[in-house]
Amino acid sequence: MAAEIIAGLGAIKTAFDLAKGLKEIDDATKRNAAVIELQQVILDAQQGQMALLEQVSLLKEQIEAMRANKDDLARYELVDVRGDGKVAYRLKTDLANGEPSHLACPVCFKKGEVSILQFRLQSSGQDWYDCFSCKSTLKFGARTQTQHNRIRPSHWME
């Protein structure tokens, strides 16, 4: 963007120098050629200005999007989900704005994205969640051993 600013300033200086020189030209043909050259320099400067204005507008949009994302990320807090040291981001209840309570993927959150974890199942004392953005599977809670009491047919005892 600095290069465009310098080029724009150079075009303005060139236009000024050409305009100064116009008053010293007596020959109508030379004067008309200088006017055409001056008009081209002015047109180039205007095009450069339009390009800079478009870049400024785009940068303003990007800044606004970053601010909105920052505000959205601030609505979450890092929590130990089931007291086992495994963490995720939980929506703060006072900033829920009507949204149901949910967990957000810590992997995606670190990239500046909020990806809501989807509960899959509960098994062996653990809650399993999937992140559809980064394809992670997260397990919260301490794993417990399940005892399988099987009833065996009587002929196995023999």
Domain range list for the chain:
2-61, 75-140
Q: What is the pTM of this model?
A: 0.57
Residue whose pair of structure tokens reads 């009833």 in the numeric block: 151
What is the predicted pLDDT for the residue at 88? 94
For 89, residues 6+ apart whose C-beta sits below 8 A from its C-beta are: 76, 77, 78, 79, 103, 104, 105, 106, 109, 114
What is the predicted pLDDT for the residue at 85? 86
What is the predicted pLDDT for the residue at 108? 93
SS3 37: helix
What is the predicted pLDDT for the residue at 144? 76
For 24, residues 6+ apart whose C-beta sits below 8 A from its C-beta are: none
Q: Give residue 114's identity as a one-letter amino acid code.
A: V
For residue 42 the two structure tokens come to 């002015």
Per-residue pLDDT of the chain (158 residues; tens, 9 = 90+): 666 666 666 667 776 676 666 666 667 787 778 778 888 888 888 888 999 999 999 999 999 999 988 988 999 999 998 888 899 999 999 988 889 999 999 999 999 899 999 999 988 888 999 999 999 999 988 777 765 555 555 554 44
What is the distance between the alpha carbons of residues 22 and 35, in angstroms, rounded to a whole number?
8
